[in-house]
Amino acid sequence: MMKYILFLLLLGHRLLAQTVSVDTFATMLKQSQQAQVIDVRTPAEFAEGHLPGAVNINSQRDDFSQALGTLDKNKPVFVYCLSGGRSKGAVEKLRQLGYTDIHELKGGYLKWSSRMMPIEGVSRSAAKAQWTTDRFDSLVQAQPLVLVDVYAPWCAPCKKMAPVIDRLAEEMAGQATIVKLNADTEKSLIAAYQVDELPTLLLFRNGKLVDRQIGFRDEAALRALLK
């Protein structure tokens, strides 16, 4: 009996907070009618995009613990930062303050936005698609080496990689063709190639898709891909 009680206590302790994947986080948010979504990034980061309904409580402010303490302890708290570092500290403070239903987003806003999940505070492109399937297929078939960068203007890792992509496109003109597809506008092509995460890189050689890479890649990795 004592071992069983200890087990329940340990289980309850672990259930105080759980770090969950993007899909689980999204499902739990959808199912919860009392969710308190807390973004612990800086106001500048928050202004560049955030989860729907999120409230910004900057983890760097002097009264951070006091601000967290104003939340309702009877409602679940969903917390995230940019990539997971700051949210861990926030979770610990929430636990110390007595909150018992805490959910941390694994990978933070970077992972959430890269999976093309709903976000607020960003301007999505309303322009018409620039590429038809026929035009895209003709290019891929005509060029021996084509690198396709599927991106979005609001995607943080996409923006970080963009200068390198642009530089390589200019430097390797004549050796490789680099195409940028805006996920906001090129929805038919995105669906055709089953892209559900940003950035995604598609490499075509002699008309065939030979490689698919997901997530940020530095310059060295991009150059290696184009060899």
Confidence check: pLDDT of 214 > 60: yes
Give the Cα separation of 132 and 115 in Å (integer): 24
Average pLDDT over the chain, rounded to an integer? 91
The answer to whether residue 9 is domain-embedded is: no
The answer to whether residue 128 is domain-embedded is: no
Confidence check: pLDDT of 4 > 90: no
The answer to whether residue 99 is domain-embedded is: yes
169 or 123: whose pLDDT is higher? 169
Give the Cα separation of 141 and 57 in Å (integer): 51
Q: Which residues pair with 37 in a beta bridge?
A: 78
Confidence check: pLDDT of 8 > 50: no
* pLDDT digit string, tens, across residues 22-78: 999 999 999 998 999 999 999 999 999 999 999 999 999 999 999 999 999 999 999
Confidence of residue 204 (pLDDT cuts 50, 70, 90): very high
From 61, 86, 114, give the residue that closes a domain: 114
From 86, 114, 142, give the residue that closes a domain: 114
Residue 109 sits in the same domain as residue 137: no
Question: Could you give the 3-state DSSP secondary structure of residue 99?
Answer: coil
Residue 104 sits in the same domain as residue 39: yes
Tell me whether strands 55-56 and 36-39 are parallel, antiparallel or unpaired: parallel
The answer to whether residue 8 is domain-embedded is: no
Confidence check: pLDDT of 2 > 50: no
Q: Tell me what pLDDT residue 16 has.
A: 57
Confidence of residue 17 (pLDDT cuts 50, 70, 90): confident
From 80, 114, 148, give the residue that closes a domain: 114
The answer to whether residue 121 is domain-embedded is: no
The answer to whether residue 5 is domain-embedded is: no
With 0.85 as the threshold, say if the pTM is over it. no
140 or 126: whose pLDDT is higher? 140
CA-CA distances (angstroms) from residue 186 to 73, 76, 127, 151, 202? 44, 37, 10, 10, 14
Q: How many domains does the chain have?
A: 2
Residue 155 sits in the same domain as residue 99: no
DSSP for 53-68 reads: T-EE--TTSTTHHHHH
- Look up residue 135 and give its two tokens: 């035009």
Structural domain harbouring 157: 133-225
Residue 94 sits in the same domain as residue 144: no
The answer to whether residue 122 is domain-embedded is: no
Confidence check: pLDDT of 7 > 70: no
77 within 8 A of 103, measured Cβ to Cβ: yes
Give the whole-number percent of the chain exceeding pLDDT 70: 93
Residue 146 sits in the same domain as residue 84: no
Residue 99 sits in the same domain as residue 167: no
Residue 101 sits in the same domain as residue 42: yes
Q: What angle do CA 117, 120, 123 make, to 5 degrees?
A: 100
Q: Which residues pair with 50 in a beta bridge?
A: 120
CA-CA distances (angstroms) from residue 212 to 13, 23, 138, 198, 203? 41, 22, 20, 12, 6
What is the side-by-side order of every strand in the sheet holding 36-39? 17-20, 102-105, 77-80, 36-39, 55-56
CATH number of the domain to which 188 belongs: 3.40.30.10
Closest residue by Cα to residue 54 from 125, 108, 123: 108
Residue 143 sits in the same domain as residue 216: yes
Place of tokens 């694994």: 106
The answer to whether residue 105 is domain-embedded is: yes
CATH number of the domain to which 67 belongs: 3.40.250.10
Query: What positions carry a catalytic annotation?
Result: 155, 158
